[in-house]
């Protein structure tokens, strides 16, 4: 086998039924936009935005920041809410998503990365989500520490009963509500609360892995950049920062830091006491760690681990201060 063929041998195969599904999802989702704007009630419009917002929270500050990176802790009913919100998003069990995301971080930008951004945006964002797991996926998964997820009752319950939960919370309740309570047609509900909602939430979820190709700056590019692809897209190093300190709760999924709808929601939940022990790195701690790396010849990973320990201590102090 030639060298050029070896990387392909490490990838999965295209699942053509998934390709067919996404073709229909996009086509009917686009039609759903037309219906939402011109042929549905205002109640349906606001309800659709609310459902997308809740599903987005389940993926971003639920599966991503809470379960994948353990960047904060939450009271039991908020964890339950995030589990159901993630089910609403329709992107598969939390366990499977967290495992794939942790593999993505550990092998970022390599052939073992299931969402390798070096393959281009189309592959990272869409094609990788239509493929079977690569032959070495199970072997790679054994290296990933998932003990915290194994012991999480909410993740275990969702994984065991995912399809019944998805049928109820992901399909029946959101699609039935407009028709039941304010007289929306079943066809509009299915196309808007079904296909359009799944299309939006799927792309929001995929952008967690592919967003670096939109909002991230490449190595040695200046900040602020000379130009942007689109005037509304602001490139920065924050999304790159996430791959250095993934446990920082302030780091947004879409290229922002300490702002954005998901981060603002976390701030509100923290203020009212529903989430706590929020880990973050201060500029001073980062600066001290980099100085220590140059002074003591410690590896970059060692000093970043030291930063995490400091952040955990400070998060514990904040948690104790809140309880007192």
pLDDT, position 4: 39
Both tokens assigned to 154: 């909410």
Q: What would the pLDDT profile of 30-73 be if each residue is shown by its tens digit?
A: 999 999 999 999 999 999 999 999 999 999 999 999 999 999 99
**276: Cβ contacts below 8 Å, ≥ 6 apart:** 72, 73, 74, 270, 315, 318, 319, 322
pLDDT, position 231: 58
Confidence of residue 3 (pLDDT cuts 50, 70, 90): very low
Mean pLDDT of 185-205: 97
Global pTM value = 0.91
CA distance 322 to 35: 47
Distance set, CA 49 to CA 55, 203, 240 (Å): 10, 15, 29
Q: 185: helix, coil or strand?
A: coil
pLDDT, position 10: 67
Average pLDDT, the chain: 90
CA distance 131 to 137: 12
pLDDT, position 320: 62
Confidence of residue 1 (pLDDT cuts 50, 70, 90): very low
Both tokens assigned to 22: 């996404």
Point out the least confidently predicted range of 42-56, 127-141, 223-237, 303-317: 223-237
- HEC assignment per residue over 120-142: CHHHHHCHHHHECCCCCHHHHHC
For residue 161, pLDDT over 70 is answered with: yes
């Amino acid at each position: 086998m030639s060298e050029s063929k070896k990387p392909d041998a490490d990838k999965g195969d295209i699942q053509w039924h998934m390709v067919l599904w996404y073709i229909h999802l996009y086509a009917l989702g686009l039609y759903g936009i037309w219906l939402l704007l011109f042929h549905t009630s205002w109640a349906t419009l606001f309800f659709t935005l609310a459902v997308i917002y809740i599903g987005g929270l389940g993926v971003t500050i639920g599966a991503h920041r809470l379960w994948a990176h353990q960047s904060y802790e939450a009271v039991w009913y908020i964890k339950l809410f995030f589990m159901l919100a993630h089910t609403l998003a329709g992107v598969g069990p939390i366990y499977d998503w967290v495992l794939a995301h942790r593999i993505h971080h550990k092998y970022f930008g390599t052939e073992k990365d299931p969402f390798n951004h070096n393959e281009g945006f189309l592959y990272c964002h869409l094609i990788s989500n239509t493929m079977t797991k690569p032959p070495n996926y199970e072997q790679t998964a054994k290296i990933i520490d998932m003990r915290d997820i194994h012991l999480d009752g909410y993740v275990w319950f969702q994984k065991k009963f995912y399809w019944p939960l998805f049928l109820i919370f992901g399909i029946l309740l959101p699609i039935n509500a407009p028709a039941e309570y304010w007289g929306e047609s079943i066809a509009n509900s299915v196309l808007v609360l079904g296909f359009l909602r799944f299309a939006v939430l799927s792309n929001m979820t995929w952008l967690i892995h592919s967003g670096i190709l939109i909002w991230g700056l490449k190595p040695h590019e200046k900040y602020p950049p000379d130009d942007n692809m689109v005037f509304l897209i602001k490139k920065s190093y924050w999304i790159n920062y996430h791959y250095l300190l993934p446990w920082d709760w302030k780091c947004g999924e879409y290229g922002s830091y300490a702002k954005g709808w998901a981060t603002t929601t976390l701030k509100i939940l923290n203020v009212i006491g529903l989430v706590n022990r929020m880990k973050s790195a201060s500029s001073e701690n980062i600066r001290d760690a980099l100085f220590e790396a140059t002074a003591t010849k410690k590896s970059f990973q060692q000093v970043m681990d030291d930063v995490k320990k400091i952040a955990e201590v400070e998060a514990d102090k904040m948690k104790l201060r809140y309880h007192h």
